[in-house]
Amino acid sequence: MLFNSLDFAIFFPIFFIIYWIVAKNLTLRNIVILFSSYVFYAWWDWRFLFLIIFSSFVDFTIGQKIYKTTKKKVRRNYLALSLLLNLGFLAYFKYANFFIDSFIKSFKLFGGELDSFTLNIILPVGISFYTFQTLSYTIDIYRNQLKPTKNWLAFFSFVAFFPQLVAGPIERASHLLPQFYKTYKFNYQALRSGLLLMAFGLFKKMVIADRLAIVVNEVYNNPTDHAGQDLIIATVFFAFQIYCDFSGYSDIAIGLSRTLGFDLMKNFDTPYFSKSITEFWRRWHISLSTWFRDYVYIPLGGSRKGEYRMYLNLFLVFVISGLWHGAAITFIIWGFIHGVIIVIEKVLSNNKIIIKRDQFFSGLFFTILTFIIVCVAWVFFRANNFSDSRYILQNLLNFDSDFKNFYNLGLPSHEFDFAIIAIIALLIFDYIHRKYNALKLLNKMNFVIRSLSYVIIIFIIVIFGIYGDDSVSEFIYFQF
């Protein structure tokens, strides 16, 4: 079920009403959340619902087992079992064909010959997200940073909580799980700010991301038909498409949760105003970058085992992050690029090579440079295969003499111009939001201005939103 679908437009009001009718009864409320979350997920494919139930049961049980024993070896074995089962399912559904294909290609390098084949595997929606969420629960218990819950209903609801089930934010049990232990009173202020955030998320998704997707799909699905300005425009458009698509989903998830009394962590913080790749990753997909920091980088040794080991750990984290995003060499290269730049920035910082970024012109220069690096990396992230990504990079500066061709990239001229205006408006909003928290300012304004703003946002979504195109309406991160 998509947040931007008619199904959800019917589902959410029904759920919302029932939720607040039973909200004072904690057990009933969590039953409503759990049942509704399972309905929400089963809307795609009910068969994979059993994976979520099984994962919830495994980590609920193992969490209890780890906590009840003080023997290090036994605790370690239980943790290993949790990792094996959760990552085993993730590896099978997401990476089996990738590993098979890689093995066959590697075998050919040594002169061997194997018949190429693939398994008929459907990737369960959101498996990467809820797997990481449940793993954080058992790992925190193993580290003695969290006590296991005895309330299975609360835990199963935490794992399946539908606002953030499919594409995050990836919540820690220490933050979200306790919120299932207490009831909430209806709060008009929370409802108002939550609905505003949902509307803003839908605006970013339906008005900006889905419009840009038309151009991006046209160029990236047929890259050899384009060159120069077409490839640059499509790449820049993809940078804003994925930002609006993913941050739009996060806004909807956070806003929806807020209307129910729940608090989810911030997942994006104006990343395209970053002055370095290091800063970019403090502001982009925050829940994932902090997860990798706490559960991969630190266990690898972090910065505790010397300077060169720290650089290796940083690099490995980003390569693994690339593989997490997708089972393809292009995603690994995407992670490789970010890892190399992060290490270079860390080397410069550790050797006291100070680069001034706080003055206007130097700050503007490094903001543009960071955006260019991010866009080059996005080429590998979006390209359908390595061959396409190589062609795109080789022809980015191969300009066609006719600079009006971009009006033939799937959008009529007025729609293309509207897309440009929407991007500029988004950047202006993000700049204001970065300085003053624009949404909070809007919530503090008087009733007339607030109401007018709500009407304008809804009007723009209704009139200028993209509808009925399955190729662009699904959220990008559902495939991860």
Rounded-to-integer distance, Cα 238 and Cα 232, Å:
10
Residues labelled catalytic: 325
143 shares its domain with 200:
no
149 shares its domain with 244:
no
Q: What is the number of structural domains in the chain? A: 2
Rounded-to-integer distance, Cα 456 and Cα 43, Å:
32
Q: What is the pLDDT of residue 361?
A: 78
- Residue 287 falls within a domain, yes or no? no
Low pLDDT (below 50) residues in the chain: none
79 shares its domain with 136:
yes
Rounded-to-integer distance, Cα 197 and Cα 211, Å:
20
Is there a contact between 26 and 183 (Cβ–Cβ < 8 Å)?
yes
Is there a contact between 229 and 400 (Cβ–Cβ < 8 Å)?
yes
- Residue 140 falls within a domain, yes or no? yes
Q: How many residues belong to the chain?
A: 480
The CA-to-CA distance between both ends of the chain, in Å, stands at 16
Residues of the domain holding 30: 6-185
Q: What is the pLDDT of residue 166?
A: 83
- Residue 346 falls within a domain, yes or no? no
268 shares its domain with 392:
yes
Cα 276 vs. chain centroid, distance in angstroms?
20
Rounded-to-integer distance, Cα 11 and Cα 6, Å:
9
117 shares its domain with 250:
no
- Residue 155 falls within a domain, yes or no? yes
181 shares its domain with 203:
no
Q: What is the pLDDT of residue 455?
A: 85
98 shares its domain with 164:
yes
42 shares its domain with 117:
yes
- Residue 329 falls within a domain, yes or no? no
- Residue 384 falls within a domain, yes or no? yes
Among 121, 150, 185, residue at a domain's last position? 185
141 shares its domain with 224:
no
Q: What does the CA dihedral 393, 399, 403, 408 come to, rounded to 10 degrees?
A: -50
Rounded-to-integer distance, Cα 214 and Cα 56, Å:
38
- Residue 400 falls within a domain, yes or no? yes
Q: What is the pLDDT of residue 165?
A: 87
Phi/psi region, residue 301 (left: phi>0; alpha: psi -120 to 50; beta: rest), is left
150 shares its domain with 198:
no
Among 185, 207, 231, residue at a domain's last position? 185
Is there a contact between 370 and 280 (Cβ–Cβ < 8 Å)?
yes
- Residue 236 falls within a domain, yes or no? yes
Instruction: Tell me the angle at which helices 360-382 and 229-259 cross, rounded to the nearest 10 degrees.
Output: 90
Q: Nearest Cα to 165, choosing from 84, 244, 48?
A: 48
What global pTM score does this model have? 0.90
Rounded-to-integer distance, Cα 53 and Cα 46, Å:
12
Burial code of 92-131, b = ≥16 C-beta within 10 A, e = fewer?
ebbbebbeebeeeeeeeeeeeeeeeeeeeeebbbbbbbbb
Question: Residue written as tokens 């920091």?
Answer: 293
56 shares its domain with 160:
yes
117 shares its domain with 32:
yes
Burial code of 402-440, b = ≥16 C-beta within 10 A, e = fewer?
eeeebeebbbeeeebebbeebbeebeebbeebeeeebbe
CA distances from 473 to 20, 93, 163, 196 (A): 30, 24, 17, 21
Contacts of 13 (CB under 8 A, 6+ apart): none
Q: What is the pLDDT of residue 438?
A: 73
Among 155, 185, 215, residue at a domain's last position? 185
